[in-house]
Amino acid sequence: MFENTRNLPFYERPNVETGVVNLDGTGAVPFGLEGAYNPEIGIGGAYGSWGESYNNSRLPSFVGERLRAPLDPADVLNLSELGFDHRQHIPELDNAQNLALELEVGSRLLKKALQVCGWDASEVAGVLIGMSGPVSPDYVQKISQMAGIPDAALKVSVHKACDGSMGALHLALNPELSKSGDLNIAEQLKGKKVLVGGIEGLSRFTCGARDKNALQLFGNGMGVIGIVPGENIKLLVGKTFENYDEEGLLAVRMYYPHSRSSDSDGSMINVIQDEAGHIRIAGLMHEPADGASIEMAGLMGMVKLFVRTGVQVVADVYKEYQALMDKLGQSGQSIKMGIVHHANFKINALKAKHLSKLGIEFPMPWLVSDFGNVSAASNIIAFLRQLKDIRLGDHILFDGFGAGTYYDVMAVSMGESS
């Protein structure tokens, strides 16, 4: 399912606010932000991108520049068939320029989300951001500070590849995820104003890649929503699942602290508290052997990696959801829609087909064709684009999955239904 603006580049959408970030030595980098708010449920946020917009016909020349050699016509993907028409890329920058750029766009995103929600920055109790390859270890603290959010607010960085934003949302909603002895993030944030999202500078990230598919699929994207856990969004049931990618079907370099081993309980997740107000949720990845940033086994490898286990996790959550509805005497209630990570259209369509065979059907609107694969940002963007059609009391299923391999699937209720 695609909206009628599918062929529009993101910056040309009617409600996108555009601007530039001026960087010393390289000129101006364009960016755009769009807000969305639903007064009925009291949830809003902002999403956007930065860098020059490339459509499918222009992309091969850009990829050739990155590869330092022309892209062979046989290697050009049918990106429109995969659900992608445009994506945003930056020029190659040095470390200081990348940091300055991503701090600026990230802080502007938070400010825009606060404006849309009608919140003062001083009211925010937590900022939880998913990032595949952070530009700096203290990125979430820095953009929060630049947006005026108090130092005392909890900052959580979630590094679980494309599952990062959904891992962050799950942490904010589900008190059962915290281990004994750790700070219970959901309990601390319940009833408080929280910003949750994903910020993915994948054009920077893929500068260190030689993988022709990755360079065509990924682009920059970001999105943040303002929620009050337990009030305008409530967890019904949820499941987090890890399944280590032993074959390295999607190898991703870890640009964040990780022990490079499983914890004593067998989990691939390191929970690191850098300081009192900052927690890092770091997922173990199979890394490229040559030190590259990303290496893919091909499109069929991605199907193998995500579909079988992804269908099972969704089926498990759906079964728990039905059992809960039966217990509550609400057997007629159903999932209004699924907000599914947009790895690509074929993966999502195949997941929907397998779920249908199990008797599990609900609309899955994939609406990020003007971004490419933006990893942890895609669920948030899709949710914000559907926000106007969500009603009080609707049940929504969030489906996140990412390299590693990590899955976070949640059924939630949007606000009070009575």
Residue 381 lies in a domain: yes
The residue-averaged pLDDT of 127-156 equals 97
pLDDT for 180: 65
Residue 36 lies in a domain: yes
Residue numbers of the domain that contains 369: 10-413
Is a pLDDT exceeding 90 seen at residue 130?
yes
Domain count along the chain:
1
CATH number at residue 312: 3.40.47.10
Residue 2 lies in a domain: no
**pLDDT digits 0-9 by tens, 333-370:** 999 999 999 999 999 999 999 999 999 999 998 878 99
Nearest to 15 by CA among 375, 336, 387: 387
Contact 193, 125 (CB under 8 A): yes
Is a pLDDT exceeding 50 seen at residue 38?
yes
pLDDT for 4: 42
Mean of per-residue pLDDT scores for the chain: 94
Residue 244 lies in a domain: yes
- Return the sign of the alpha-carbon dihedral for residues 296, 282, 128, 112: negative
pLDDT for 26: 74
**pLDDT digits 0-9 by tens, 245-285:** 988 899 999 999 999 887 767 899 999 987 778 999 999 99
Taking CA atoms, 411 is separated from 157, 240, 317, 395, 398, in Å, by 23, 12, 7, 7, 6
Residues 139, 302: Cα–Cα separation, whole Å: 29
Residue 3 lies in a domain: no
Residue 4 lies in a domain: no
pLDDT for 332: 86
HSE of 86, CA atoms in CB hemisphere, 13 A: 20
**pLDDT digits 0-9 by tens, 39-75:** 999 999 999 999 999 999 999 999 999 999 999 999 9
Is a pLDDT exceeding 50 seen at residue 2?
no
Residue 193 lies in a domain: yes
3-7, 82-86, 217-221: segment of lowest average pLDDT = 3-7
Is a pLDDT exceeding 60 seen at residue 79?
yes
pLDDT for 416: 60
